[in-house]
């Protein structure tokens, strides 16, 4: 969605919020919710928030399960729900093009947190991909790569930030939040060790992905990540670009092409067919499906599943 469209929608949302505020003003003056509501935009934020809060806060995930977070915009009902939250946490780094204009319409009682201010960001310019000719359409996330949760150190920073925000929101539960955060960080540290050891000795160190979502993971473990398109999953590469990637795959003897289950995988399948490689799904964790959630999938379990696939593709010992 272009910026004009976003601003039009936000303007309509502002009118709806004003109407809701007038309608519920008297109720709000006397109503104090027992459990504070916290709205978070993405699944990684929801995972971190759940680990810290457990059942002490009412957590609301804004982007629906199974949808491509790059293409999502909230509807009026979702915006009204956000406006009733005590805390609204979003990914930032231009991942949600609707969040910046929306935050200026929210009531003063809703505290807004841009989580990208609490993590270590990578610039988009330094990452290698072959999307210079994607049918004439330019898509930009600004100067930084927004997929920062795939660096486990950043996930730890997210959990720490959540713990501090939640403690300020509900001081009576501060000890519980601190204990929960410590336990989850210990699990993340364990996961980090597994990645360090698992990707230490590999025959190959180059991964091919359809969309440039794995830069943080590659940087953390000394891998080269080459993607067909850039940071936005809705980009369409040219035939020339695809041909260049096919040539690279053949030259380097790469046997695995990674794609993402929640977005169109035609590009990866085409490259795999032309090179004799195998197309394998790799979860960037910007969102997960309802089936994944029902099966008990978490950030930790999916990251371990990703590690297993990476070790196979890179022929690690």
Count of beta carbons in the 10 Å neighbourhood of residue 259: 23
**Which parts of the chain have pLDDT scores under 50?**
7, 15-32, 128-141
Task: List, in order, residues 6 or more apart from 113 with CB less than 8 Å away.
Answer: 87, 88, 89, 90, 161, 165
Please report, for the chain, the start and end positions of each structural domain, with discontinuous segments joined by +: 3-118+148-191, 199-314
pLDDT digits (tens, 9 = 90+) for 92-121: 999 999 999 999 999 999 999 999 999 999
Could you tell me the pTM of the whole model? 0.84
Place of tokens 């394998």: 280
Query: Given this model, what pLDDT does residue 106 score?
Result: 96
Radius of gyration over every alpha carbon of the chain, rounded to an integer in angstroms: 21
Burial class (CB in 10 A: 0-12, 13-18, 19+), 16: middle
CATH number for 3-118+148-191 (one of 3.10.450.50, 3.40.50.1980, 3.40.50.360, 3.40.50.880): it is 3.40.50.1980
pLDDT digits (tens, 9 = 90+) for 222-271: 999 998 876 665 667 778 888 999 998 998 899 999 998 777 788 888 89
Classify domain 199-314 at the CATH class level.
alpha beta
Alpha helix (H) residue ranges in the chain: 3-30, 43-53, 76-83, 99-103, 152-169, 174-198, 215-220, 239-252, 266-275, 290-294, 299-314
């Amino acid at each position: 969605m272009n910026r004009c469209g976003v601003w039009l929608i936000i303007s309509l949302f502002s009118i709806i919020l004003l109407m809701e505020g007038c309608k519920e003003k008297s109720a709000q003056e006397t109503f104090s919710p027992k459990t504070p509501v916290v709205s978070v935009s993405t699944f990684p934020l929801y995972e971190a928030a759940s680990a810290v809060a457990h059942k002490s806060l009412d957590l609301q995930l804004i982007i629906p399960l199974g949808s491509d977070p790059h293409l999502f915009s909230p509807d009026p009902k979702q915006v009204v729900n956000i406006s009733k939250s005590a805390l609204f946490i979003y990914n930032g780094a231009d991942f949600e093009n609707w969040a910046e204009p929306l935050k200026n319409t929210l009531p003063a009682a809703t505290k807004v947190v841009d989580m990208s201010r609490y993590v270590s960001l990578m610039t988009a310019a330094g990452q290698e991909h072959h999307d210079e000719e994607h049918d004439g359409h330019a898509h930009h996330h600004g100067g930084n790569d927004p997929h920062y949760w795939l660096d486990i150190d950043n996930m730890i920073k997210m959990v720490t930030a959540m713990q501090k925000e939640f403690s300020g929101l509900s001081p009576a539960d501060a000890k519980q939040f601190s204990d929960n955060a410590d336990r989850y960080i210990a699990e993340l540290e364990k996961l980090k060790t597994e990645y360090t050891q698992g990707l230490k000795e590999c025959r190959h160190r180059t991964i091919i992905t359809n969309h440039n979502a794995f830069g943080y993971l590659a940087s953390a473990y000394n891998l080269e990540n080459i993607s067909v398109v850039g940071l936005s999953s809705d980009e369409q590469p040219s035939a020339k670009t695809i041909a260049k990637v096919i040539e690279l795959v053949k030259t380097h003897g790469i046997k695995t092409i990674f794609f993402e289950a929640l977005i169109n995988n035609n590009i990866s399948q085409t490259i795999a067919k032309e090179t004799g490689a195998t197309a394998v799904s790799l979860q960037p964790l910007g969102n997960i499906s309802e089936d994944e959630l029902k099966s008990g999938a978490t950030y930790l379990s999916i990251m371990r599943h990703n590690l297993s696939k990476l070790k196979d593709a890179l022929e690690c010992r």
